[in-house]
Structure 1
Amino acid sequence: MFDVGLMELALIAFVAIIAFGPDRLPVLAKQAGVMIRKAKAMANSARDELREELGPDYADLQLRDLDPRNIVRRHIIEAMEDPDPGPPTGGAVLLEGQLPPYDVDAT
């Protein structure tokens, strides 16, 4: 998710030890853990409230399903998997060599 490797984590830990000192580092790590737990609880609460308000049709809703990138990706994959629908309905099929009608007012 963040593309942080072992070397980057080691560098971050080294800078944290130098900046904050070994005495304050456990306290800061504990505070960071508490903040992460609170953020996760808030996200779960928002998800549960959204599920409750949308009704039983969306009981399996995940917050990542609301990401616009995932929505577009899912629709593109569905469109690519659909069989060829054939010519569009509602219009006349042109014969070979026949030109489509030209509307002067439309241009």
Structure 2
Amino acid sequence: MFEVGFTELLLVAVVALLVLGPERLPVAARTLGRGLGQARRAMNALRAQVEREIDLPALDSAPLQKLEQDLRQGIRLEAEPANDAAAPLAAKLPAKEGVS
């Protein structure tokens, strides 16, 4: 992924030594090492979880397809278009007289 050679690592080490100083460099290196270790463990755990999920047996899709079919049949309603839906409601309401 990243091609890092010895000279690049040496350059980073020298810059870190100049920026942090000899007193804080070991603490920073230890903290960086711990963070990288935690990240590596988290990635391994995530990879293991994904592999476990992939290895699960396939679900039997027949019951799910039957349920979907039953739901679709239950949803099918013979409804009137929206424009005609207001007409029966208007017919049931009493007409008000004297309103212009």
Give the TM-score of the pair, scaled to structure 1: 0.48
1:7 corresponds to: 7
Give the ranges of 4+ consecutive aligned residues of structure 1 lying more than 2 Å apart after TM superposition.
Answer: none
Q: What amino acid is the match of 1:21? A: G
1:60 corresponds to: none
Q: What amino acid is the match of 1:51? A: E
Tell me how far 1:56 sits from its aligned partner: 5.6
Q: Does 2:17 correspond to 1:17? A: yes
Tell me how far 1:2 sits from its aligned partner: 1.9
TM alignment of 1:61-100, pairs within 5 A = none
2:35 corresponds to: 35
Deviations 1:1-21 (A, max 9, x none): 422222211111111111000
Deviations 1:18-52 (A, max 9, x none): 10000000000001110111111111111111111
Over alpha carbons, which structure has the higher Rg? 2
Q: RMSD over aligned Cα, in angstroms?
A: 1.6
Q: Which has the higher helix share?
A: 2
The number of aligned residues is: 57
Within 1, Cα distance between the matches of 2:9 and 2:38?
A: 23
Q: What amino acid is the match of 1:8? A: E
1:20 alignment partner, SS class: helix
1:65 corresponds to: none
2:3 alignment partner, SS class: coil
Could you tell me which runs of 5 or more consecutive residues in structure 2 were left unpaired when the two chains were aligned.
58-100
Could you tell me which runs of 5 or more consecutive residues in structure 1 were left unpaired when the two chains were aligned.
58-107
1:54 corresponds to: 54
